[in-house]
Amino acid sequence: MQPLRQYELHIRSKDADVEGDLNSHLFLNLKEQISINARNEELHMIVSTGELPYSFYNISSNVDNDRILLNGSTTYTISNKNYDVYELAKVLTDDDSFPFSVSWNKFTNKFTFTNQESSTQTINWSGSYANKVLGFPSGDNVADSVVAAGASVVSTNVVDLCSVHSLFIKSSTSANMVFSSRSGYSNIIQKISIDVNSGNIIYLNQNDSRQHTILHANVDFLELRITDQNDNLINFNGINYEIGFTFLVYPLSKSIEERNLEYTARTAPRRVLQSLPPNRLRPYTPANVIRPMEQDLNLVNVETDLEHQGKRIILDHLIDKMTNNTG
């Protein structure tokens, strides 16, 4: 079905109002309203283009992966930056406030933490937030790493510095046809794959599936949030970006008719012809159909009561007359 009309909306983040210090939560009042006739039209919204800078860090307080709890009371914070494994190991080793030296094994992709202090040191993983980037499991019941002086501990899992797997564009206009494993019904209107390295531009590409959101009202305001896979707002560190929307207007009546037909076919109960019991079987004869003549041929030989009575009167009269003549 071809749309009745089509609108293109190009959004620059610097033209929108933002909430807080991050420019990933936008409030946009449209200069021109996108209007439909709600009685017989519906509006489909789709994210058509996107150019977003990979300017966010893989270790950051914004994605909650920068803190390590030591000895039950001391919180060590990793500086918000982009790290590779060599740089992260060097930063931790060179910092005198961190009691471990760190080395990376390229064959296993794991860190080894060696206690540089003269006393036992404990890493409380259940109270830490940098677990995944350092290769340790997370959760409330994760065992602590208790490391004696001069001893070492190797990370349980591989190091994971790909903290942000993909970008999610979320909007107050999302439809209830969208689900996520995190929250059930979701306000996600587009997922964008990250297929470039830090410092490049992330484009909405042909491999990112386009999702239609159906609206039944005019649009003059949009609220957008750009998050990671854990619903953390992205910190673009002051860099602006662009997003494009396409609005398609379709006739509502045909859409409703097609959906109703599909619903009826899917949900209507089957009709089952009920058979009459054997003692109630009878031929069907329409009330206004003239019976064939051959069904009445035998009726000419059948004497009615009136004909029989008339013949008796005539016969009695003849008998009386014959009697009188004889006498």
One domain, residues 147 and 174: no
Domain termination residue (choose one: 154, 173, 201): 154
More confident position, 113 or 218 = 113
One domain, residues 184 and 230: yes
State the SS3 of the chain.
CCCCEEEEEEEEHHHCEECCCCCCEEEEEEEEEECCCCCCEEEEEEEEEEEEECCCCCECHHHCCCEEEECCCEEEECCCECCCHHHHHHHHHHCCCCCEEEEEECCCCEEEEEECCCCCEEEEHHHCCCHHHHCCCCCCCCCCEEECCCCEEECCCCCCCCCCCEEEEEECCCCCCCEECCCEECCEEEEEECCCCCCCEEECCCCCCCCCEEECCCEEEEEEEEECCCCCECCCCCCCCEEEEEEEEEEHHHHHHHHHHHHHHHHCCCCCCCCCCHHHCCCCCCCCCCCCHHHHHHHHHCCCHHHHHHHHHHHHHHHHHHHHHHC
Domain termination residue (choose one: 258, 292, 308): 258
Residue 271 lies in a domain: no
> How large is the average pLDDT for residues 314-318?
71
CA dihedral 170, 15, 194, 176 (to 10 degrees): 10
75-134, pLDDT tens digit by residue? 999 999 999 999 999 999 999 999 999 999 999 999 999 999 999 999 999 999 999 999
One domain, residues 199 and 235: yes
Residue 320 lies in a domain: no
One domain, residues 33 and 180: yes
Give the least confident one: 77-91, 174-188, 203-217: 174-188
Beta-carbon-side half-sphere exposure of residue 158 (alpha carbons within 13 Å) = 7
One domain, residues 217 and 94: no
- φ and ψ of 201, to 5 deg: -100, 130
Domain termination residue (choose one: 154, 172, 193): 154
> Rounded to whole angstroms, how far apart are CA atoms 303 and 285?
27
One domain, residues 245 and 203: yes
Measure Cα distances from 182 to 178, 189, 223, 271 in Å. Answer: 12, 15, 21, 42
Domain with 68, as residue range(s), is 61-154
pLDDT at position 252 over 90: no
Cβ burial, residue 21 (10 Å; 0-12/13-18/19+): exposed
pTM of the full structure? 0.71
CATH number at residue 32: 2.60.120.1100
297-308, pLDDT tens digit by residue? 344 445 566 666
38-52, pLDDT tens digit by residue? 889 998 999 999 999
**Are 120 and 140 spatial neighbours (Cβ–Cβ below 8 Å)?**
no
Residue 67 lies in a domain: yes
2-39, pLDDT tens digit by residue? 899 999 999 999 999 988 888 999 999 988 899 999 88
Q: How many domains does the chain have?
A: 2
Residue 290 lies in a domain: no
Kindly give the pairing relationship between strand 145-147 and strand 152-154.
unpaired
One domain, residues 223 and 195: yes
Residue 315 lies in a domain: no
One domain, residues 72 and 143: yes
One domain, residues 140 and 168: no
Residue 277 lies in a domain: no
Residue 304 lies in a domain: no
One domain, residues 17 and 81: no
Residue 322 lies in a domain: no
One domain, residues 145 and 175: no
One domain, residues 99 and 173: no
pLDDT at position 208 over 60: yes
Residue 312 is predicted with a pLDDT of 72
Give the closest residue to 188 by CA, choosing from 14, 18, 47: 47
